[in-house]
Amino acid sequence: MNNEFEQRMAVVTGASSGIGLAVSELLLQRGARVLAMSRSLGGLGALLERYPEQLFWYEGDVTREASLQGLAERAAELGEVHYLVPNAGIAKLAPGSDLQAFDEQWRINGAGAVNTFYALKAQLAQPASVVFISTFLRHLGFVGLGAYIATKAALSSLVRSLALEHANEGLRLNLVSPGPTATPIWNSLGLPDDALASVAGEVNARLVDNEFLSSEAVAEVVLFQLSQGARGVYGQDWVVDKGYTLR
């Protein structure tokens, strides 16, 4: 079977856990070389043992210009980049009055993602495919997550225009909006255990099979958007949420 990912180069940020780790692993399984960036090694340690020739870790922070510059320099050493997934993100609970919470999360979820794209742009192949990560909540409300959601909604809007701006350079930009996915991000919200369990119960009740998505289920869609199979798709934001937003 023809495998378009074989020997191609991918850059994934926020690759040490959750969805970024799953995207990295799937790309490696399909034969791609992956330059993975995160502040800590996390789950990439085990992947490095399994794919010592294909996987490269760059320790960095998407809010730091020097990190993004270093990432671009490392990519230039490894070869042109066919796939880019600026996935690094955080989610913090904050009251609606706390507008600083927007700034703090935008630095990573929005500016961090867009700056990653522009830092890597000179290394991107033509054609290249870029998939940003938004959220299923971008058209909904969720008490305490307003600032987080706003950063992702702004990113989704921005990427639509960027997709048009860069289409004639052979670059295809899209987004995937994961639904509730079983990753460490939920534990980092800052909720006590009992409150988290109660939120998880309410979320589960809206999912078709009452179970959070796996990171792998989201990663499969990201890989399809990266692939030639999605060559006609520009500036779209695909929700992968087991029906959460249908109810």
Ligand X SMILES: NC(=O)c1ccc[n+]([C@@H]2O[C@H](COP(=O)([O-])OP(=O)(O)OC[C@H]3O[C@@H](n4cnc5c(N)ncnc54)[C@H](OP(=O)(O)O)[C@@H]3O)[C@@H](O)[C@H]2O)c1
- Positions that interact with ligand X (CB under 6 A): 13-20, 38-40, 42, 61-63, 87-91, 108-109, 133, 135-136, 178, 180-181, 183-185, 188
Task: Give, in degrees to the nearest 5, the angle at Cα 224 between 220 and 226.
Answer: 115
Catalytic residue selected from 51, 58, 83, 148 = 148
**Residue 41 beta carbon to ligand X: minimum distance, rounded to whole angstroms:** 7
**Residue 143 beta carbon to ligand X: minimum distance, rounded to whole angstroms:** 16
**Residue 204 beta carbon to ligand X: minimum distance, rounded to whole angstroms:** 12
Count CB neighbours of 222 within 10 A: 28
**Residue 183 beta carbon to ligand X: minimum distance, rounded to whole angstroms:** 3
- Which residue's CB is nearer to ligand X, number 78 or number 203? 203
- Which residue's CB is nearer to ligand X, number 54 or number 105? 105
User: Are 84 and 10 in contact, with CB atoms under 8 Å apart?
Assistant: yes
Q: What is the DSSP string of 1-67?
A: ---TTTT-EEEEESTTSHHHHHHHHHHHHTT-EEEEEESS-TTHHHHHHH-TTTEEEEE--TT-HHH
Cis peptide before 127 (omega within 30 of 0): yes
The verdict on whether 51 is a catalytic residue reads no
**Residue 241 beta carbon to ligand X: minimum distance, rounded to whole angstroms:** 8
- Which residue's CB is nearer to ligand X, number 6 or number 85? 85
Nearest to 244 by CA among 103, 137, 166: 137
Q: What is the 3-state secondary structure (H, E, C) of 48-104?
A: HHHCCCCEEEEECCCCCHHHHHHHHHHHHHHCCEEEEECCCCCCCCCCCCCHHHHHH
- Which residue's CB is nearer to ligand X, number 186 or number 234? 186
- Which residue's CB is nearer to ligand X, number 109 or number 123? 109
Residues labelled catalytic: 148
